[in-house]
Structure 1
Amino acid sequence: MTTSSSGPVAGAYRRVIGIVNKLEGAILIISVLLMAGNNIANVVGRVVFNQSLFFAEELNSILIILVTFAGTSFAARHGSHIRMTAIFDALPRRYQKGLIVLITFATSACIFTICYFSVTYILWVAPRGQILPALQIPVYLTYLWAPVSLFITGLEYFVTGIKNLYHRPVYLSTEVTNDEYENVAEL
């Protein structure tokens, strides 16, 4: 990991993101394990006892939402999203820097816009009082991770843009430079 930022704001940011990173990693691991366990238990129940788990589908839906959105910000932080690099790789280094700044700020703006719409959707759904039939959980609670994760993802792209403005290496994310990415890709 390449970090050349210093100062109290950068240090505080790194500490907070370190905690968020561990939390998201735990959410991803636990959610995937719970999905696997839920599916196995449902199959065993259906085959052995001729009775499916009544909540299996709803639980998996909630876990898929968690994995999707926790994974989005986790991947943004680690430079793991799919990249189309044909034009980027063909450019000289100084133009790569300009392109990545444009890409990160544009992506950040798009993600923050989606975050805004996800909040407005939750605010629209919440007063309707819908609940999941099997788990008896309000529907809007299953969507709460979406705006949180989208905000973190937008912030990751925004900070990556800032890092690219003030530091020499080309940062693909707050944690990964283009050189580090290319070294891993060659393995």
Structure 2
Amino acid sequence: MEIEQVIENSYRDLHVKGFDYVCLKLTPEHTRKVYFFDGKVSQLPEVVSPHDHRYDFTTTVLAGVMSNSTYREAKGCEDDIGTTYNEFEWRTPLNGGDGFTFKKETELFETQRFQYANGEVYFMRAEQFHTIRMKQEGTVIMLDQFADRVPVGQPTRTFMLDRKAPDMSGLYNKFTPDQLLYRLRQIEALGVSTGIALS
């Protein structure tokens, strides 16, 4: 990709402040994104609420430490007590969507939580519910996203403890060329080729 395309498809403060993402490749079959977690985002109990995706993906930790938790809907049995969440449909503004729409209350049960450090990789299917937590300031992860399994026009699911959807004002900001070059140099310093000639 040319640097102008990278700027067009990359965002600062994605979902929450301090959560930046740089898009290095964008095709229907394979998209590669690098995420940076700086400032208060590394101290949050979870970066985003439990959710599913439109696509299968792998995550590689490039720096720092993170954890990934997976969930399933609780069966309601005595030995399968879940936590009550508010289920929302999510239509991302990045695809022209209008954000969160409340759907219903749902009980989720956390099935596993694994910690991953520099160089470790995990795979997630589109339909799996998960959330991530940062264990170190300055953690960087790379996501390899595969072909959509849920069409862009259809919502995915997000589960929140709060009935009120979060305020998204001040998010989804664009990089300046200098800000992007700084992030691209960070990526290359972590051993990942950006495919862009950096002067």
Which of 1 and 2 has greater Rg? 1
Q: TM-score, normalised by structure 1?
A: 0.24
Going by fraction, where is strand more abundant, 1 or 2? 2
Q: TM-score, normalised by structure 2?
A: 0.23
Going by fraction, where is helix more abundant, 1 or 2? 1
